[in-house]
Structure 1
């Protein structure tokens, strides 16, 4: 699936994300500006790195409207949500907190993931074999730097490797 993130005008509060599925269908959403990498683009880093097919972007690739997938993925009471979607959201939330702090703290990251999963009544994901600081945090920082270079009304195109 192709993702096209568009940065809007300097005074706008939102940018946008367009997802183009393999069959050519599309869905889009407004992305709130946060001063760091937008939440939905952190999903790209996490789900692509972990080869998740059942997370937020996996639901979109499978045909869900992006707004519906977003609502489902953020509903902590949604017991029907697949573990992978819960895990993706937990990792994204914890990674986002690390980006906000400006430095990676392995203990805080793990605790953030555990806490987000516990809130949703799920076990934390097994991240064995993943060098979180390099493969997730480092990749998110690299993508954030690329995003910062995008001029107003410019685009950043990304391709999901696994979906």
Structure 2
């Protein structure tokens, strides 16, 4: 799937992210400006680096509406959601989507801090999963600073260099 992130006018509060799937279908969503790498582009970093099949971008690549996935996973009271895309809603779909969101939130916090604290990152990810009654992701075989934080910083630098009314294209799996 191709992601096309468009940086809108300087006075806009949102930028735009378009998804062009392998079958040619497309959808889009707004990305709130946050002063750091946009949340949905942090998903790109996390889902490109870790072996998830049912994160936000993977579900959108399968045909899910981005707004549906965002609302389902961001709602901490929604312990389980159904995917009209995968056809077989399982605990794996829900658990992975929640784990990805928790990791993205924890990485976003580290980007706001401007430096990486492995212990706090894992703690934040674990707590976000716990708040959604989901087992946390095990980072036993991953060094999060190298696998996630450094690529997020590199993408943030690339995004910052994009001129207003211009785009950044990324290929996702």
TM-score, with normalisation over the residues of structure 2? 0.90
Match in the other structure for 2:85: none
After the TM superposition, which residues 56-95 of structure 1 pair with which residues of structure 2 at under 5 Å, given as runs? Answer: 56-81=56-81, 82-95=94-107
CA distance in 2 between counterparts of 1:146 and 1:102 reads: 16
Q: Secondary structure at the match of 1:28?
A: strand
Deviations 1:10-49 (A, max 9, x none): 1111100000111010010110000000000000100111
CA distance in 1 between counterparts of 2:57 and 2:148 reads: 16
Find 1:99's aligned residue among 99, 111, 132.
111
After the TM superposition, which residues 1-163 of structure 1 pair with which residues of structure 2 at under 5 Å, given as runs? Answer: 1-81=1-81, 82-161=94-173
Aligned length: 161
Deviations 1:48-70 (A, max 9, x none): 11132201111111111111111
CA distance in 1 between counterparts of 2:139 and 2:98 reads: 14
Q: Secondary structure at the match of 1:128?
A: coil
Offset at residue 72 of structure 1 (A): 1.1
Structure 1's unaligned 5+ residue stretches are none
Deviations 1:102-133 (A, max 9, x none): 00011110110011001001111112221210
CA distance in 1 between counterparts of 2:164 and 2:123 reads: 36
CA distance in 2 between counterparts of 1:2 and 1:13 reads: 23
TM-score, with normalisation over the residues of structure 1? 0.96
Runs of 4+ in 1 over 4 A off after TM superposition: none
CA distance in 2 between counterparts of 1:105 and 1:60 reads: 31
Structure 2's unaligned 5+ residue stretches are 82-93
